[in-house]
Amino acid sequence: MKTLLKLIIVFSVCPILSLPVSFSTAADPPLGKNEIWIHQRDGCNQGMYKQPNGPMSLILFCDAALGTNIGLVYYDSPEAPVSLHFYNKLTQAEKEAYYKIWSLANRMWQEPIWASDVTSYAWGPDGTKLYVATSGIYGSGALYELDLIRKKYKQIAPTGRVALDAPGPGYVITRMDKEKSRLSYVLHDQWDVPIEGRKELIYKFQ
C-alpha cells in the first residue's frame, strides 16, 4: 500500500514521466551483421536503413501481398562525393555529370525493374555498389548491380533480357566474400533447400 501511494505521489508531482516516449526519425543502422538483408530470413521491417560505408540510405517498403519494395535516397550532404578515392578515378566528363546526377533537389532513386518485389540486397564493400535480387512474382526476377555513383544499374542474372511482364526465375543473395570479391546467390526456389543441397551461383565483382 505504501509503495502504491509513493507511485501516485511521483506521477502527480512529475506528470512528465507519464508522457509517451518519442523516437528519433533518423535512419536506422543497416540490417544484418554482414550488410546483407534476406527477406525470408530477416523478415520485413519497414523503414530507412543507412548504408554502412557510404552516403546512401535504403527505404524498405513492406507492401504485404504485393511484395517488399525498395527505394534509395542520398541521405548525407551531396557536397561530398561517394568514396573520394573512387570519385577521383572518374573522367572529367563523369565528374561534371556527377553533380547533375546527385544534387540537393535530386536525391531519390527508384526504378521498377530493380525496386519491385525484392528478395534480398547487399551493400558492396567499397561503398559504391548495391546488389539487389528480385522475385519473378511481382518483380523482374533478376539480380542487379547498382552503381551508386553514376545512378546506373546492370543485370547480373539471368543472361537474357527480362521485364516486369516477362520476368526471370528470381534470385536470393546468400552471402558476400569481400576478400575474394565474390557475391553468392541462388535461384529463388532454391532458398528453402538445405544449405548442403543448394546450388550456389557466383558473381565476381570489382
The tens digit of pLDDT for each residue in 132-190 reads 999 999 999 999 999 998 899 999 999 999 999 999 999 999 999 999 999 999 999 99
For residue 163, is it within any domain? yes
> What is residue 85's predicted lDDT score, i.e. its pLDDT?
65
Banded pLDDT at 83 (limits 50, 70, 90)? low
For residue 55, is it within any domain? yes
pLDDT digits (tens, 9 = 90+) for 4-48: 434 333 333 343 333 332 323 344 444 444 489 999 999 999 999
Residues 6+ apart with CB under 8 A from 138: 66, 67, 116, 117, 164
Q: Is the pLDDT of residue 49 over 80?
A: yes
For residue 14, is it within any domain? no
pLDDT, average across residues 83-97: 78
Q: Kindly state the greatest CA–CA separation across the chain.
A: 77
| Gap between the Cα atoms of 151 and 40, Å rounded | 28
Domain count for the chain: 1
For residue 121, is it within any domain? yes
For residue 129, is it within any domain? yes
For residue 6, is it within any domain? no
For residue 91, is it within any domain? yes
Full domain range(s) for residue 113: 24-204
